[in-house]
Structure 1
Amino acid sequence: MRALNPSVPICAANDDFGRKHRSRTARAGDAVAHTANERVLTEALRHLARHGLSAAAHARAHAAAARLAGDEHGCAWWIAICRQLDRPMADAFARRIARRV
């Protein structure tokens, strides 16, 4: 039997190593952070489904509106959504608002 791509070595990888290692060192705070990250990712995907390729720009606009309204929690939420969709855009926006403080 010939390999389809002979330059790629065929060997097994232990995919469970990282998961087992992380589970041994997991703390209670990690579970909360993981749940929060899943929620942000879920909402980012819903936002993407609603707005398509302009979803990151919409999230940035929501963050700007929340900041203008004085809603820091809402601003952080929308920056997190934007970061899931377009990290450079979210980081640039976060830097911009940090300079204005």
Structure 2
Amino acid sequence: MRSLCRSAPLGAVNDNYRMLTVRRIKQRPTLAIAPVEGDGEILTAALRHFGRYGLAAAAKARTEAIVAHAAGDVEGRDRWIAICRQLDRRMASSCELTLLTEDD
């Protein structure tokens, strides 16, 4: 049987398993942000944000979190990271780790 696109990879791989394995090996301390006014509100805000910015929504939420952090707005930062987490868990974790280790 001929392939329609010869350059396309034939095997799909779930890379989440690899990240979990790496995370267990590093034994990195878990940083937690307090929940922001319930998950329903965050999910609704994340869906509206996605409706406005599309596939760039997670990156835009990360940028908003960085701006809020620079302005000293802790609640705003936590809210934007929570929205980013709804859209892209890895990006939110990376942003959270970067921002919170900056303070140390």
Q: TM-score, normalised by structure 2?
A: 0.63
**2:99 matches 1:89:** no
Rg larger in structure: 1
Larger fraction in helix: 1
Gaps of 5+ in 1: 1-32
**2:42 matches 1:45:** no
**2:66 matches 1:64:** yes
**2:57 matches 1:55:** yes
> 5 Å matches for 1:73-84?
73-84=75-86
State the alpha-carbon separation in 1 of the partners of residues 66 and 99 from structure 2: 9
User: After the TM superposition, which segments of 4 or more aligned residues of structure 1 sit over 2 Å from their partners?
Assistant: none
After superposition, give the CA deviation of every residue in 1:6-54 in whole Å (9 maximum; x if it has no partner): xxxxxxxxxxxxxxxxxxxxxxxxxxx7x71000000000000000000
